[in-house]
Structure 1
Amino acid sequence: MIQAVLIRFARDRRGVAAVEMSLIASLLCVCTVNAVEVARYASSARQVSAATHAAAQAAFATCDPVHTPATTKCPELATTTGAAVASTPLGAAVKLSPLTEGYYCVSTAGKLTYVSAADSPPADCSSVSQSGIRPGLYLRVQTTYTHAKLLGVPTVADTFANPIQRSAWMRMK
């Protein structure tokens, strides 16, 4: 009796299309949720980068070379960089780290290398084997944004760096 029911059940093809559709629809839903989360993350990362670069540009526009080092001689620096960071659609969710400033030289390997603090300018870049070159005063702007997921389900975007951190450099002098 049970064997006959199982045979009849195995031969019955009604509802096969519905089962196949439910399997395919669930895969499509998973792909769609992943695509949305990756796109949201990419958009957030782009906006954090824009906020960071806007802050660096605001620092350069606000603090002319006469007011350097900007971190100590430009009183408007914190206000203008903070406003620039908040100017993106992410707004106040993008956090501005303390601004750092120092003298840097390009090494023989082509890397920007720290040579001294902003309040003690070196005469040249001899510390990085570039004695004929004058060091530049650079301001570093760092921002952080914690990306919030749209849904509470695991996605590919969970493998990306969170919080999103960006840095921008601006030569002040």
Structure 2
Amino acid sequence: MARTFGSDLQGVAAIEFAVFALFLLLAIVNVTDVSMYIYQRMEAENATQGAALAAWKTCGPNQLPATTNCPGLSNAIQNALGGTSLGTRVSLVSGSPSEGYYCVNSSSALQYMSGVSSKPSDCSAAGSPGVQPGDYLQITTRFGYVPLFPGLSIASTFATPINTTTMMRLS
């Protein structure tokens, strides 16, 4: 009887498939969660960049500094943030938008010069005398990513919430 049981191969394929299916399912769960994270991160970045474009379009160079002279700035930013598939789940971080004067320094990086309340006369502090500082608007947003399969996929270890920042020169 024991020999008959040991030589019986019925059901072996089903057992092998079940083991293989577990690995396949785990791979599918990870691909799904990572793909959703990447997509939602791109959408959050698009919403932030769209908000900066909407600010420029609404306020333009005629109402600068925008945070103090453009009454439609807040509405334009909020409307643009809701313009992606994430809808109103993308929100402004406290203190955003912020605006200031920046200059390009010797390392070709933007260097903060001052807030909008006191425009510097030139970019001497950044090593470029005679160059006018630019008025930049910085927008920072947050999106609360939640993995579809928490604990099962590596996406559970990704940074959440997703924070994105964009800067746009207004002048």
Q: For 1:156, which of 143, 149, 154 is the aligned residue?
A: 154
How many angstroms apart in 1 are the aligned matches of 2:54 and 2:38? 24
Q: Deviations 1:108-164 (Å, cap 9, x if unpaired)?
A: 111111011112111111111122321100000111101122233431212322111
> Which structure 2 segments of 5+ residues have no match?
none
Matched, 1:38 2:34: yes
TM-score w.r.t. the length of structure 1 is 0.91
What is the RMSD computed on CA atoms of the aligned residues? Answer: 1.6
Which residue pairs with 1:53 in the alignment?
49
Secondary structure of the residue aligned to 1:104 is strand
Matched, 1:108 2:106: yes
Which residue pairs with 1:83 in the alignment?
79
> Identity over aligned residues, as a percent?
38
Greater Rg by CA? 1
Q: Deviations 1:11-48 (Å, cap 9, x if unpaired)?
A: 44332211111111011100001101111111101110
How many angstroms apart in 2 are the aligned matches of 1:125 and 1:19? 72
Which residue pairs with 1:13 in the alignment?
9
Which residue pairs with 2:164 in the alignment?
166
The amino acid across from 2:84 in the alignment is: T
TM-score w.r.t. the length of structure 2 is 0.92
Contact in 1 for aligned 2:26/2:152 (Cα 8 Å)? no
> Which structure 1 segments of 5+ residues have no match?
none
Q: For 2:23, which of 27, 30, 37 is the aligned residue?
A: 27
Contact in 1 for aligned 2:150/2:156 (Cα 8 Å)? no
